[in-house]
Amino acid sequence: MAIYKAVLNGQCEGQDVKNILWYRNGIAIDLSGLTVGGTIECANAIKTTVWPLMKVVLPVQYVLQDITCYVYDESTFNLLYQNPTTVGVGETGVKVGALNGPATCGIIRFALEPTSIVFNGPKPPKKGYVAIGPLCDSWIADDGTVPAIPDQKADWDAICFALANNIETLLPPALFFPIRVHTDKVLGLIKITSFADIRDATLRSQSSFRRSRMPES
C-alpha cells in the first residue's frame, strides 16, 4: 500500500488557492507497474474524475493551474520519491458572476470509516474537510447558507460524491481510495502517522471564509 498527497494548485485574483486530497492504493499493489510510484496515475485520475465536477461550482475567475502529487511508503510513511509529480491543468471554473474575493468557500465534510491501530496507525483522524472556493455571490444566500437555491444542490452533490469515492485509471490500471490523514511534528518535520478511509462527504450548510486565501495587503 502507498499513500498519495495530491495538491490542487489554483489561483484567483492573484491569490493562491490550494486544496489537498489524500488517497491510498490497495494492499499488495505492485508500484513498479505504475509511473513514478503511481503519482502520475493518481494526478491524472483526479484531473479526469474530480476536477470536471469541482469546476462546475467554481467561478471563471478561478484557474486550476496543476495537480502536484507525492507518494509515501506503506509502512514508514516516508516519501518514496523526493520530487513530486506535477500534471498541468490550466482550466478555469465555469460559473459567471461577481464574487467577494478569493476567500469565500463551501465546506465539504468527510465522514470516516472505523479504524484500527494495527492497520491505520496509532492516532487515526476522526474527521476531515476541504474548502471549495471561491464561490460566486449568487452561490451564497444572504444569510450565508449554501446552496443558495435548490437548483445548485445537484452540483454540490456531484462533487461530494466524487470526493468520497474511488478514482481510477485504465491504462495502466490503477485504483485509489480516498482517505484523510493524521500528521504529527517529528524532529521538526511534519510526518504522516495514520489514516482513515472516507465513507461519505456532505456539504456544510453554512459557507465559510478562508483567511489564508485573502490577498496580501
Residues 78-103: pLDDT tens digits? 899 889 999 999 999 999 999 999 99
Q: Is 32 left (phi over 0), alpha (psi -120 to 50) or beta?
A: alpha
**Looking up cell 484531473, which residue turns up?**
47
Question: What are 121's three cell numbers?
Answer: 496507525
Residues 137-188: pLDDT tens digits? 999 999 999 999 999 999 999 999 999 999 999 888 899 999 999 998 877 7
